[in-house]
Chain A
Amino acid sequence: MNGGFRGAAWLLAVGCATTPALAQDSERSRYYIQQMIELAATNDEAGVNAMQRMLEQEPRPAPRDPAAARAALQRGQAALRTGDLNVALTAFQQAGRDDPGNVDAVNHLGLVERKLGQFPDAERDLQRALALEPTRASAWFQLAQVYGLSEDGRRARGALANTYRFAQNPMRAEEILRNIAESEASDTLRTAAVETLRLYQLPVEVVIVPPLPANPGIVPLMTAPASGRKP
């Protein structure tokens, strides 16, 4: 099946089967984002593209007070630079309320929530940012960290795969992934980075030998490994 046909098939399948079941726009957007994550984790480019197009057709929230949102955004960014996360959080929340379609404000809100360890809030707001701009690599990267730090390896890998897919400079993204793969303290995130590099067949050195399984048993050869670590 070629890529174009697969993409069309995805659109048909999603359009026919899921749309009526999801009443809320935000729920539908989150569904598409989760699909983008799942499909990216298996390197299904046509599927990711189809979901991206679905997201881009979603209605945009109307701004209430764009000028006030911009001012709050600037306050938040200034507070973020000085490390005052709580002030930044309040400012970005305000910006998001004044203009729910301001992707910078929503993305920064998710970033600060992640830094504060408020992972469910961070996940929600980063998904909001991605619903507004599905190709925003920085939001995918933040979301990957949220999943990685929440021990959700599969979704971390999918989000990292989309980080690389949408990166403006893939070589920079590649080095960021290698940096995580070699230096990150979180096992889940580190493993997700290794798997993402392998997914795209990029060179990576694994620095830690997998732990000894409790009972190695006999694994038949010539079958796919249970760990699923191969690209």
Chain B
Amino acid sequence: MTSRLAPLALLVLLSGPSSAGAGQYETLDYHIQQMIVQSAANDEAGVQTFREQLDNLRRPEAGDAAQAQPLFQQGLDYLNHNQPKEALSAFRQAFIADPADAETAGQLGFSYLRLGRLKEAERLLVYALALAPARSASWLHLGQVYGQSGDATRSAGAFANAYRFAQDRPRLAGQLRQLAATDSADAVRAGAAQALRPGQSAPATQLPAAGKSTSVADLPPPAVATPVPVSPPVAPPTARTADPAPSTPPAGGALLDSLRQGLSNLAKPANTTAPNVGLRPMSVAVGDNPGQQIYQNSIPRTCLIVTFRNGKTDSLGSGLLVSADGLVVTNHHVIENADNLAVKCGERESVARVGKRSKEPDLALLMTTLNRVDGFVLNDAYSQELIGLEVFVIGNPYGLEGTFSTGVISGLREIDGVRYFQISAPISPGNSGGPVILRDGSVIGIATMGLKKGQNLNFAIAAAELIHSGLFDPNRMKISAARGKNP
């Protein structure tokens, strides 16, 4: 489409039903998304057309700028001192005082981004861009939001607009190169790299070889006391080039090869002699080390789950074998965005497909080829008497395979009608979907989320929820209602 025809076609599209009748935010979002699409297609005329459309929309009523200004300044100070939670509070008050200021809305969106609250960040940044469509910083942050959400395509379009509208283009290109090389999210790196490729607005010259990603230890500490799913993006196993995502995901053997390659780069547990199949007899454990006994028995049935999206590794989590014919249970949030799945239970690997899934409770049942290994015994118990009982957790936090931790059942919590055990055993991103085990080896819960604030305030969906969820045939389960005493 030539640049002269493009605006006309876009105006025709705009007069259609796409945005008619939509709410205020939806109308703004429609225009911003169109700017991203046009930008990703390097259609300058299209971007400008939608920018003009935004400029012509009715502006929100100005608020009290005098009241907002000191709050805004306070927010900047907090950001400069790496206090995003406090910054969020200050920028929010400034925004409430004067919602017509694009700078304030943009900084509020950025604060949400810093806190990992991507949905809120997206809404505020879209709003900020609707107020000031040429605000490069908001495009840059929106690109990061989409990238961190796993959407490399929209990330690239937003990054390209960041460059397009940048006052200081060399500086912005440097920021994009930095993101392409070092950001911890695959899709952010891919989006930034795509925006830097020839044909896009930003120049690809002097694109450095990608370096290592930000390590977990470099990330700022979490600050909001909120239950968060514990499924992280996969850290890149090696330095990678800035190739765009392939158009089709790997499947079958290629998927397993990809899994193996990825797994080989993840940190392994020190003991690599985990059994191949079957259960270790209890007697192999060191006599006065019940943890070792439980570990040996559980590790062949505890799974690492790797998800793939747009042909690339997306996230990882944990799971547990629950039947002798290869059924694996994990959290729904671990697999919800996956195009393909691979699992590794003990030393055995398999591709997997989703049999059933449920958002509430947050559970999914995967079907694998990993037969000939007995599944965990599920424990139906859920009562006050369990509080104080010792529990053991196995999972893959941050890719550290087979990490074993202990704690106690701290409480019973019912959240949105779903029963959880609050446990003190440490869990981290990557533990999602893994087993919480009693001393008798039965699984009492599925590790699901933790509070960022506080210490060891973690939550596991009660196994009783799984048993009664209808996710799979109870006849294929092994169920116990024991209290988890010593075997």
CB-defined contacts of B469 to chain A, threshold 8 Å: 221-222
Q: How many residues of A contact B (CB 8 A)?
A: 34
Interface flag for B225 (CB, 8 Å): yes
Interface flag for B470 (CB, 8 Å): yes
Q: How many residues of B contact A (CB 8 A)?
A: 44
Q: DSSP class of B's interface residues: helix, strand, loop or mixed?
A: mixed
Interface flag for B419 (CB, 8 Å): yes
CB-defined contacts of B108 to chain A, threshold 8 Å: 175
Interface flag for A59 (CB, 8 Å): no
> What 1/0 mask marks residues of chain B from 118 to 153 whose CB sits below 8 Å from any chain A CB?
011001100100000000000000000000000000
B61 touches A209 (CB 8 A): no
Select from chain B the residue with minimum beta-carbon distance to A224. Answer: B417
> What 1/0 mask marks residues of chain A from 168 to 180 whose CB sits below 8 Å from any chain B CB?
1111101110110
Interface flag for B117 (CB, 8 Å): yes
Interface residues of B in 462-487 (CB under 8 A from A): 464-465, 468-470
B224 touches A175 (CB 8 A): no
A206 touches B226 (CB 8 A): yes
Interface flag for A185 (CB, 8 Å): no
Known contacts A171-B99, A205-B224; A219 and B417 CB within 8 A of each other? yes
CB-defined contacts of A225 to chain B, threshold 8 Å: 416-418
Select from chain A the residue with minimum beta-carbon distance to B383. Answer: A216
Nearest-neighbour CB distance to chain A for B297, whole angstroms, equals: 29
A227 touches B417 (CB 8 A): yes
B226 touches A207 (CB 8 A): yes
Tally inter-chain residue pairs, CB-CB below 8 A: 90
B119 touches A169 (CB 8 A): no
Give the docked Cα–Cα distance between A221 and B60 (Å): 45
Give the docked Cα–Cα distance between A160 and B233 (Å): 36
Nearest-neighbour CB distance to chain B for A67, whole angstroms, equals: 28
Interface segment, one of B70-78, B286-294, B395-403, B407-415: B407-415
B464 touches A218 (CB 8 A): yes
A171 in complex: contacting residue of B93, B119, B127, B413, CB < 8 Å: B127
Most buried by B among A172, A225, A226: A172
B120 touches A169 (CB 8 A): no
Interface flag for A61 (CB, 8 Å): no
Interface flag for A20 (CB, 8 Å): no
Known contacts A170-B23, A172-B99, A205-B226; A220 and B468 CB within 8 A of each other? yes
Interface flag for B95 (CB, 8 Å): yes
B123 touches A209 (CB 8 A): no
B23 touches A219 (CB 8 A): no
Known contacts A206-B226, A218-B382; A170 and B413 CB within 8 A of each other? no
Most buried by A among B23, B96, B224: B96
B227 in complex: contacting residue of A203, A209, A226, CB < 8 Å: A209
Interface flag for A83 (CB, 8 Å): no
Give the docked Cα–Cα distance between A30 and B465 (Å): 45
Nearest-neighbour CB distance to chain A for B244, whole angstroms, equals: 29
Interface flag for A53 (CB, 8 Å): no
Give the docked Cα–Cα distance between A216 and B420 (Å): 10
B416 touches A227 (CB 8 A): yes
CB-defined contacts of A206 to chain B, threshold 8 Å: 226-227
Interface residues of A in 145-199 (CB under 8 A from B): 168-172, 174-176, 178-179, 183
B96 touches A179 (CB 8 A): yes
Interface flag for B92 (CB, 8 Å): yes
CB-defined contacts of A209 to chain B, threshold 8 Å: 227, 413, 415, 422, 451, 457
Interface residues of B in 9-45 (CB under 8 A from A): 23-25
24 sample A-B contacts, Cβ–Cβ < 8 Å, listed by A number: A169-B60, A169-B99, A171-B127, A175-B92, A175-B99, A175-B108, A179-B96, A202-B123, A203-B119, A203-B120, A206-B226, A207-B225, A209-B415, A210-B414, A212-B411, A212-B412, A216-B382, A216-B412, A219-B417, A225-B416, A225-B417, A225-B418, A229-B416, A230-B360
Chain B residues within CB distance 8 Å of chain A: 23-25, 60-61, 63, 89, 92-93, 95-96, 99, 105, 108, 117, 119-120, 123-124, 127, 224-227, 360-361, 382, 411-419, 422, 451, 457, 464-465, 468-470
**Which 3 residue pairs across A and B have the least CB separation, nearest first?**
A225-B417, A203-B119, A172-B99
